[in-house]
Structure 1
């Protein structure tokens, strides 16, 4: 028997055949010759569904789940679309991704065995085909039943899997003769095995995979756990049962009908149906494929391609809108905030494609309105969508506003880019140029094409290309040059049993370089964003503690006098430990407060807890207002005063996920069979390995020092507690005294600092700098006015320097300073024009002539070297030498331009050497500098 010959096939009268068209082997009960899968056979269910009735998504899902429940499978809930339990993918791409790697590698028991589920999933590898082929989606539900077989617990495998699938199809009213099982091979993630593609009337309704092998360099190796990994496409089942012209019409009829009401579409289902049939026969990947598809459909129906396109193109946009907005509904619900990085990148990608499609259709419907329609349709089965409705719609609204701003800026950005390309004699934009515009400025290719007069060729797979660049998370591997001795027993992590132990005795099991390895330790090794403990071992200083695998290493200043296999006295730096505990506990409290103030979309994007400062990065779509910061801080301190208990327990991963949900993975993926759960009663629950207090009241108080936007979609909160907060308060008092503003509170000082976009610690130096520059700028403005003979025209408005002792006076100082910059720019421009006029006069009459070369010498003051450089270059004529000097205080610049026998760089070096400086450039143009003391005589008296 081959891997594909089953008792079930023999019992039910199936015959194994080889398809004459594609060469694949398949099993069938019918007298058919081909395998039944496109392109060997066409869709035959459109207009003629094979099921006994039509099923909507909800009914089909329930029939599937109930069927397997009746056959002893335990129903489990969907996992989030964001795969927060993994660090190698952003989104759940299939039901099996929910159980990788921990279940498949034997670390964790499956949540049920066997189990059945309908998993919401996202894929972006075919995003450009969505709406065009009739069958591609970015969002879909993979119904699945799984069995995890081990030598000690065999559930079922091939025969039972195929029999269950076949009986489900029969129960739906599909005739056995209409089903074919095509033999194939599946591989992925280092595993492989045989599989059957289940085909009905031309559509692959299910894939039945039998993971049996581990793929190694030496070949296939039998897996100890053999897994039944099935995938039944919910959308395809609904489509086949309804026989609609395409899958989109079957899957989201209510949303599509609402959109259609706003449009005057030529809804010819004969054309759309034929389009889907032929698209199913083709692998549509390029523009050429799409063109061929349209030509074949037009030829079959007997209409011009132009007529076909006029019917299909609006529907392509319509279906893309329906699919993308449904995907966004689940993404926003599960905590994704649109951004330019990580999982947020794909949300923004879908938003921008959706808005572009709506624009193509001429539909003026807010994005949030369409998402609200989806929520209304889906909340009966997915109640969480209704609960999070406000958050979902807010995210949609904010992101649409941002896109509108992007479009407004886009024209100017593209115009500038176009001019640069033209100056380099470029006639066409490349695909990389289009990717640059999208990734850096958020401009879709169609907008770029609209705003430029350069040639633009938009690749049909453009969004597949950009999505591919962002599909796999960056996995930063820490540099690790520590080589552990072999044969070491795991270090006992005693700090989890007693977080309050300051001193202890332990046995030195190994000395390695400057590291000590103990049999047990109460020192906390760096991890989870919490810095390492420090202290003493055997009277020697411990500077760092780290964990490698299951071994804890203590880095020492030196290990002299320490011996292996001896007991040593160990002592933790308790002030540091307590401070780190305060900051780590504060992180959990503030995370809970931020979620309550800002919304359920808040997720931890990073954290660091040091002795002096703690920070928490959260996902959020906008900078925080002062009121929001104050509310988060107030809520956090209220929780501290309530003295809530903090429970810390190791739990089985499945039990923790079932009890608390996937929000426990705030800090990212956590390895292992068991996870340590830190539960602040009715406030915050996270999987966390750090050290914490037993009650929130032990924290006393926490203060948010600052909040800032560190990247698109991520806000950083910085805060202090305990001794760090006391030190901070003393520092603030010192700062207030230093700037003579003792009467101001810290909040008021922060507002002053925010005027200049600096931290409060930098306020004294910043105020001094701005006041000094205010005075310097005024002097330069006055000097320039004198040179231009316009005394008082600009300087008169700066009669008195603002005192900078209130927020309004700081704003006045900053406003004056900005105004001075503008005035300086205007005055320098006027002076430049004056110099240009003087130079032009000298070119005509006031010049020195040497051997037929016209030599222009000119001295200016306080002008930009860049502008003088451009001026000299623009006025240069044949057989001319221009020598310009420019002073600014004690410094001077020399610019030489030559279109003669004299070398510009040689002359510039000669003059600058006398000024105590040097120059660089070439024969035509050179720039140099030095002291301004002798420049007047050197410039005006220079002769080659």
Structure 2
């Protein structure tokens, strides 16, 4: 029987023998495609090829693509564990034609592969096609010899039914498709293959998409410049049918993960798997196995946990897995340990897992710990809410309760729904979604061009690739423009035949500079440079001249911008090495930003750095700068050689090919890095840390300056010290002692002021008691007083209470303190006992006049308000409040 690893390799070999270029999988975190949450199909990396915006030196391709379907149009998250065929992470075996072969060849080769390579029985195979695809029907029935009764027509996009019409998302390439299905249970007897067939029995394994259209935002289908083929054979499902199973989790792809869970739970690793598959809690194992694959692959490809977008989906997936782990008995973080089994199982196929798997496991552990801290409290609150609803005869949890569990304790609503279903309850989705939408609106950001009108289509000026970077060796080159498209505000995006401009990558910002055309008459300011599937894109602004993009251009990088960025980038390598040597050798880089004006470096560490740590880091880095160490860039190094022999560190979240670039600072740092660097550490001149803070659980951030920026920071601080010295009437040398003496004098004066205020309050209290009004035999005092602090106001109230003694009396003191209203109500013990008057009730009556609220004990209550102008009204209303309380 063919193993999953053999199946993967045999697929690629099959199509390579048919002149297909084998192409590596792209990351599951999409590169430069804002329309996608995750890479959800093999065709994502070929989008511009299918649209006709790009050409390559091949027209046929094959790959094994890592895919995640857990959001957007293609979202299988809620189905995982409920059936035996859906996954959030899977591998898609695919073959493509870009304007080459079409329906006939793709169907013929797919049929040959399933019959001769997978050795599937033809009597167990069925096919679906789009409703009016007669060409496809004839190929299947007349050329492949398939019984017409085994071919089913589905779909009607005009009616909103997109069965057998595939699209990557709401916009983009799309077209009709034909699907190959497999009968998992022929022993159930004959069946009619028609609308409403049992999908648990007849399972789709391969989809052949015929890309003919490009769907725009209003749903219009525009013909593509060429007809292409995009096929997808799910490895998990193919492995399932080859193994004679009816559940994707019953294959060798998941066995190592299950065995890892067995070991962590103290169970027999060699237990009978067939019996295990039938166990009551198998669903819990399956959900965990699927989810840990998804999270591990996504984190290793650079994704991060967050409160929105892709990061929120990952957080949701992890928390679902944790909850199922609780069902199995895990009461502490465990997924990070299972992630190691994923790395071990897939590391030889996807080297990025081995390169960054340890760092990914650490981020998973930190996220787990964060959720476990809230998990017990969240479960407790859910049980309370469910019990309360049941006691009231309700079968629905309110949207407010579901929202509270989500917003406060991180419970994704689908988790709450599952727990509710286990108790025979549902949740109020409409109310929840309204609350969540309102919550999201408060923090929603917008890309500056995301919704901009006037973004044109790409115009091709000349054919050829547009991803040739020559900027390591030169800052200026002669080139031509290959593609251009218009942006708003007299801006354009352009692709060049070759470019010296570094595109933003690895945390380093893109170069800036100019494109000069037509003898310098046309000047384009290069504002940003990005990598995209179509090529290296330059966002430019028209400065002078007419936008004629033909002919030769001079591409000129701003040398000062490049130099400042290079200083900051090399400094991050020195800082990384210093952190590991001076603070903790287990620290790893978790992100960075390198610009011309500053650098930002994120790293794994569980506590703030001390002042001594920061000083040691600065001294270490500046010492290396003074040593003027050469910085060597090794190019085209075999990745295994770089890591295993040179000891190069792979930076977490970065993507590396088989050949890598290694940046070495002898004796200090060896890292895989594609960025630009100084030739010698002495060029950095100076290094200065400006801040150290937390950015996430277990992740710290250092911000720093180098070269001219660091010097300016020191100069600014020196100027500030001189200004402070002048204010304190001192010189800089003696500033500390002078400032300490001034603060001591201030503390002494504040104590004296408080003492005088209490004496004045005592005298004022005598006057207030003498002038008190009387309501039904109770003395009533209500007045505004001048105090500087709440402590002074409280001292005034204490003096007044002492003067009132055992009389039946109530009093309200009001004062404006730091621009806000402060109220204190005093009720003597005699008034409370004899008249049942409560200070809290009285102050609530008058606090509204100052736009505030209050409360307290029966004999003493306080209130604060934002409207000090309402103090006179509060004082005036107090006597009426007392009358009402006594009546």
TM-score (norm 2): 0.58
Aligned length: 663
Describe the SS at the equivalent of 2:250. helix
Which segment drifts farther, 249-258 or 90-99? 249-258
Distance between the aligned counterparts of 1:725 and 1:77, measured in 2? 43
Match of 1:66 in 2: 13
Q: Which residue of 2 aligns with 1:166?
A: 111
| Alpha-carbon spacing, 1:500–1:74, altered in 2? closer, same or farther (3 Å) | closer
Verify: 1:477 aligned to 2:477, yes or no: no
Aligned to 1:210: 210
- 1:920 aligned to 2:853? no
For residue 118 of structure 1, what is the aligned residue in structure 2?
64
- Equivalents in 2 of 1:875, 1:429: separation in Å? 49
Offset from partner CA, 1:721-777 (integer Å, 9 cap, x none): 233322322344455667789xxxxxxx9xxxxxxxxxxxx9999989986875576
Q: 2:124 aligns with which of 163, 167, 178?
A: 178
Mapping 1:133-152, distance limit 5 Å: 133-149=83-99
1:113/1:725 Cα in 2 relative to 1: closer, same or farther (>3 Å)? same
Partner of 2:191: none
Post-superposition shift, 1:127?
A: 1.5
The 3 A distance-change label for structure 1 pair 918 and 240 is: closer
Q: Distance in 1 between matches of 2:662 and 2:801?
A: 72
Report if the CA contact (8 A) 2:51-2:225 is conserved: no
User: In structure 2, do the counterparts of structure 1 residues 256 and 482 end up closer, same or farther at CA, with 3 Å as the change threshold?
Assistant: closer
**1:372 maps to which of 340, 363, 367:** 340
Highest relative contact order (Cα 8 Å, sep 6+), 1 or 2? 1
Contact 1:317 1:358 in 2 (8 A): yes
Deviation (angstroms), 1:582: 4.0
Asked if 1 retains the 8 angstrom alpha-carbon contact of 2:24 and 2:64, the reply is: yes
For residues 836 and 128 of structure 1, do their structure 2 counterparts lie closer, same or farther at Cα, with a shift above 3 Å needed?
farther
In structure 1, the residue matched to 2:600 is: 616
Please give the alpha-carbon distance, in whole angstroms, between the structure 1 residues aligned to 2:91 and 2:54. Answer: 25
Give the distance between the partners of 1:769 and 1:711, measured in 2 at CA: 39
Alpha carbons 1:119, 1:142 under 8 Å: kept? yes
- Structure-1 separation of matches of 2:547 and 2:92: 57
Task: Provide the C-alpha distance between the structure 1 equivalents of 2:812 and 2:425, rounded to a whole number of angstroms.
Answer: 48
| Contact 1:375/1:385, CA 8 A, preserved across alignment | yes
Query: Are 1:206 and 1:230, in contact at CA under 8 Å, matched by a contact in 2?
Result: yes
Cα contact 2:689–2:703 (8 A) shared by 1: yes
Instruction: Say if 1:481 and 1:641 are closer, same or farther in 2 by CA, change over 3 A.
Output: farther
Q: 1: distance between equivalents of 2:571 and 2:403? A: 38
**Equivalent residue for 1:252, pick from 242, 251, 254:** 254
Residue number among 422, 430, 434 corresponding to 2:402 in the alignment = 434
Aligned equivalents of 1:90, 1:629: Cα separation in 2? 41
Q: Alpha-carbon deviations, 1:130-160, whole Å to 9, x = none?
A: 11212221111111111212xxxx3x11111
**Where in structure 1 are there 5+ consecutive unaligned residues?**
1-52, 274-310, 502-512, 516-521, 535-543, 556-561, 566-573, 650-660, 669-676, 742-748, 750-761, 790-823, 847-855, 885-893, 906-916, 930-934, 940-944
Partner of 2:182: 200
Partners of 1:267 and 1:728 lie apart in 2 by 67
CA contact (8 A) 1:198 1:206 kept: yes
Q: Are residues 447 and 377 of structure 1, via their aligned partners in 2, closer, same or farther at CA, if it must alter by over 3 Å?
A: same
Describe the superposition over 1:382-438 as per-residue Cα deviations: whole angstroms up to 9, x where unpaired: 3443343432332232222222333477699999999xx9xxxx9986336534543
Aligned residue for 1:242? 243
Secondary structure in 2 matching 1:93: coil
Instruction: Report SS of the residue matched to 1:224.
Output: strand
The 1:621/1:214 distance shift into structure 2, 3 A limit, reads farther
Distance 2:347 2:177 in 1: 35
Matched, 1:400 2:368: yes
Change (3 A) 1:104 1:346: same
User: Judging changes above 3 Å, is the alpha-carbon distance between structure 1 residues 198 and 836 closer, same or farther for their aligned structure 2 residues?
Assistant: farther
* Residues 1:767 and 1:126: Cα distance change in structure 2 (over 3 Å): farther
Q: Aligned equivalents of 1:835 and 1:222: distance in 2?
A: 87
Q: CA deviation at 1:533?
A: 8.2
Q: How much has 1:110 moved relative to structure 2?
A: 4.3
1:79, distance to aligned residue in structure 2 (A): 1.8
Alpha-carbon deviation of 1:316?
A: 2.0
**Quick one: structure 1 residues 867 and 232, their matched pair in 2 at CA, closer, same or farther if it must change by over 3 Å?**
same
Choose which of 692, 715, 724 in structure 2 pairs with 1:730.
715
**Cα distance between partner residues in 2 of 1:433 and 1:830:** 44
What is the distance in 1 between the residues matched to 2:694 and 2:83? 41
Moved more, 638-647 or 72-81: 638-647
Q: What's the secondary structure of 1:137's corresponding residue?
A: coil
Alpha carbons of structure 1 residues 898 and 212: separation in structure 2 relative to 1, 3 Å: closer
**Contact 2:600/2:702, CA 8 A, preserved across alignment:** yes
Q: 1:97 aligns with which of 44, 56, 76?
A: 44
Aligned residues of 1:592 and 1:684 also touching (Cα < 8 A): no
The answer to whether the 8 Å contact 1:210/1:226 transfers is yes
Deviation at 1:119, TM superposition (A): 1.0
Unaligned runs of 5+ in 2: 130-163, 184-201, 463-468, 478-488, 492-498, 515-523, 529-537, 549-556, 581-585, 637-647, 656-660, 727-732, 763-788, 851-866, 883-887
Aligned twin of 1:187: 167
Q: Is the 8 A contact 1:437 1:443 kept in 2?
A: yes
SS in 1 for 2:87: coil
Deviation at 1:235, TM superposition (A): 0.5
* Alignment partner, residue 86 of structure 1: 33
C-alpha deviation, 1:114, in angstroms: 1.6
2:22 to 61, 68, 75: 75
Structure 2 counterpart SS, 1:351: helix
Contact 1:647 1:694 in 2 (8 A): no
Distance 1:550 1:580, change over 3 A: closer
The match for 1:552 among 533, 541, 547 is: 541
Secondary structure of residue in 1 paired with 2:874: strand
Deviations 1:351-388 (CA, angstroms, capped at 9, x unpaired): 22222111122135722221122223223433443343
Cα distance, 1:83–1:67 mapped onto 2, change above 3 Å: same
SS for the counterpart of 2:249 is helix
Relative to structure 1, the CA distance from residue 316 to residue 498 in structure 2 (aligned partners, 3 Å threshold; closer, same or farther) is closer
1:705 and 1:481 map into 2 onto residues whose CA distance is: 40
The 5 Å alignment of 1:548-587 reads 552-554=541-543, 580-587=561-568
Say whether the 8 Å CA contact 1:667–1:687 is kept in structure 2.
no
Q: What secondary structure, in the 3-state scheme, does the structure 2 residue paired with 1:377 have?
A: helix
The 1:448–1:61 alpha-carbon spacing in structure 2 relative to 1, beyond 3 Å, is closer
1:341 CA drift (Å) = 4.0
In 2: Cα distance, 1:833 partner to 1:190 partner: 74
SS at 2:366 equivalent: helix
**CA distance in structure 2 between the aligned counterparts of 1:325 and 1:840, rounded to whole angstroms:** 70
Instruction: Please give the alpha-carbon distance, in whole angstroms, between the structure 2 residues aligned to 1:75 and 1:92.
Output: 18
Change (3 A) 1:478 1:240: closer
- 1:161 is displaced (CA, Å) by 0.6
In the other structure, the counterpart of 2:192 is none
- CA spacing shift, 1:237–1:563, aligned 2, 3 Å: closer
Work out the CA distance in 1 between the residues paired with 2:490 and 2:52: 36
Q: 1:624–1:707: 8 Å Cα contact kept in structure 2? A: yes
**Aligned-partner Cα distance in 1 for 2:711–2:607:** 27
1:337 to 298, 304, 318: 304
Tell me if the contact between 2:50 and 2:173 (Cα under 8 Å) persists in the aligned partners: no
TM-score (norm 1): 0.55
